[in-house]
A and B are shown apart, each in its own frame.
Chain A
């Protein structure tokens, strides 16, 4: 796997994430979040899971980001107000990060390089989805329908 590409993508993704977490204006944060999503999709491409990368762009950039942006607009009067920043959260995040990195570095056998792999074709994914994962697929269908209806009910105008 190409280390140069990996480092470039990592820098783009993580700086996008940092900007999305820390920028004061909500819209800018949402747009930086899109950069992060693209970076993660690039990681999937690099890891040989092209289909997941495409789904990532399709779902996150095409749907989730647009949803976030729409919500920001609908709640706009509140968007640019200065909300407090809790430093305790930063402490917790740093602690979690330290714990994670400590665990990763201490675990033996993680510094393996990727072995060559045959490309994961869309056909293979389709076959697996329709055989081994057919029940999870149906459940996802149900969950998505329920989420659709639930979201609709939540945002419907309250009748007075």
Chain B
């Protein structure tokens, strides 16, 4: 199955559009090709952003036994449009004591890396907008620029809540970047490549015609997928790790002094970051655009990718509707004392799996390693004692 008509429809459309440019110099074709890829990616994700902002409110409402937005258009479908217009015509307030240039640049700097990061993800067969040899490294390299942008937002606003929120956000993002990257290492090690396309290719095929060769089906893969997902939650500042914008303590963190369209840009960056992290999780652990069962391969590859992406995004919303916000020190302790050792255990488990010829023995051994480290850590950290029901005594 190497691509039916529907599977390659976008690729063929692009080639057809480029063939209209026949006779043009090479650099023109190159620019046109990049522009097409960029606008297609941006268009799809902007549409997904609009849809997601509505769906999130709808699903949260359902979780909380409400109806959610249902006034604008059928089922409230035009709510994102109304929100967009509202954001555009709001007054743009800049604090008098703010560092104007930094304050202005911060939202752009927050949004740009997430958009760049979306470029290296393979959305379907032959559908990687920016195929680069070190794609995974590119993803994290541009992602690390976000921290600086958050700092710019906090410092440029010249407000203590902004600054505190930015400090919290940076501390949390720096701490969780380590487990995030280390949990990617096993996959990179097993595949032997940093290119997302090669990683997706390595996950093709099915055992017994049923079980897909996705990395999430191996013990180390499942463990590092969970670690990656949790770290991804933190990196995109989502509940339960949204301490940087804890309303009850520091207003809205680094976004306190932003209004109107600049605030919308932060919002967009948060969602795009979520898309990018989920897309990378799909690519690394959930088989990218491969179908879950061999007999379902007739469905186009990009549908599979976006279906998996949708499931992950739903989990994001579900967690937001279910879990309360964590305390700052708990968040940091969790990163250094639990996530990081677990991620290293996954690296070792993956190596064992590989050297046991990737068979049942390797499967059991790596499962044993992950389990032993997990239980040792929970003993050492006395999780049972620490998270036992507590009795509070009020001051009299």
Contact = CB atoms under 8 A, between A and B. Distances in A.
A31 B142 CA distance: 16
Interface string B312-349: 00000000000000000000000000000000000000
A44 B282 CA distance: 30
Interface of B is mostly: helix
B144 A63 contact: yes
Contacts of B132: 50
B174 A66 contact: yes
Nearest to A56: B141
Given A50-B132, A55-B137, A121-B133, A61 B148 contact: yes
Contacts of A122: 133-134, 137, 193-195
A153 interface: no
Find the residue from B138, B141, B174, B194 having the highest chain A CB count within 10 A.
B141
A81 interface: no
Interface string B254-293: 0000000000000000000000000000000000000000
Interface string A55-84: 101100111011001100100000000000
A50 B170 contact: no
Bin chain B's interface residue count. 20 to 34
A106 interface: no
Contacts of A63: 144
B228 interface: no
Interface string B194-227: 1100000000000000000000000000000000
Given A62-B177, A66-B174, A50 B134 contact: yes
Contacts of A28: 102
A54 interface: yes
A126 to B, nearest CB: 8
A125 to B, nearest CB: 9
B145 A54 contact: no
B148 A34 contact: yes
Contacts of B302: none
27 contacts: A27-B155, A28-B102, A31-B102, A31-B148, A31-B152, A34-B148, A51-B137, A54-B137, A54-B138, A54-B141, A58-B137, A58-B141, A61-B145, A62-B140, A62-B141, A62-B143, A62-B147, A66-B147, A66-B151, A66-B170, A69-B151, A73-B155, A121-B133, A122-B133, A122-B134, A122-B194, A122-B195
Interface of A: 27-28, 31, 34, 50-51, 54-55, 57-58, 61-63, 65-66, 69-70, 73, 119, 121-123
Interface of B: 99, 102, 132-134, 137-138, 140-145, 147-148, 151-152, 155, 163, 167, 170, 174, 177, 192-195
